[in-house]
Amino acid sequence: MFKLRFCLSILFLASLLVGCQVNSTKMAEVVIGQQTICVEVADQPTQWARGLSNRASLAANRGMLFIFPQSAIHSFWMKEMNFSLDIIWINNNQIVETWPNAPIPSGNQTPGHQPKSLANYVLEVSAGSLDKYGWRASDTVKINFTSTTCQN
């Protein structure tokens, strides 16, 4: 009887732990100029590979921030994307390169871009954001990982 209670207790605790981790997406706040974007944080290789692929859309003032352990040339592609993006390479809190209106795949063509600049962050936002907000290379980027305004 004791073993049964013990096993049931362990199963119950394990189910609670699993339930607590269902919504574990990390969020951050990115500020460029006067504009704030709430972003999902992609800081693991599996998240880098998946990115925003297979999603139906991206809400206004939302995006994804890819965080890399070191500054390097980080190429991006639009595999399995359903909407266009503006992609922004950031190094040491400064925009260093952009790919405006990155197109969705067409047929067997998957568009990609290899930047010329080193970056330790890459920001994906809705296509047209670069023009809409006037963002350009050399703009300062502030990242707040403890923001309470950008919750899931």
Asked, for residue 15, whether it belongs to a domain, the answer is no
In a domain, 152, yes or no: no
Distance CA 117, CA 115 (A): 5
Low-confidence ranges of the chain (pLDDT < 50): 1-23
Q: What is the pLDDT at residue 138?
A: 96
How far apart CA 25 and CA 43 sit, in angstroms, is 11
Residue 85 lies in a domain: yes
Number of domains comprising the chain: 1
| Residue 83 to residue 95: CA distance in whole angstroms | 23
Closest CA relative to residue 67, chosen from 145, 149, 150 = 145
Domain span at residue 46? 25-144
CATH number at residue 110: 2.60.120.1140
Is residue 11 one of the residues assigned to a domain?
A: no
- Asked if residue 116 lies in contact with residue 97, where contact means CB atoms within 8 angstroms, the answer is yes
**Do the domain assignments include residue 8?**
no
pLDDT of residue 109: 83
Q: What is the pTM of this model?
A: 0.81
pLDDT in the model for residue 8: 35
The confidence score (pLDDT) of residue 60 equals 85
Q: What is the DSSP letter of 50?
A: H
What does the pLDDT read at residue 152? 63
104 part of a folded domain: yes
Alpha carbon distance 98, 57 (integer Å): 20
Query: Would 16 be classed as within a structural domain?
Result: no
Instruction: Tell me if 36 is assigned to some domain.
Output: yes
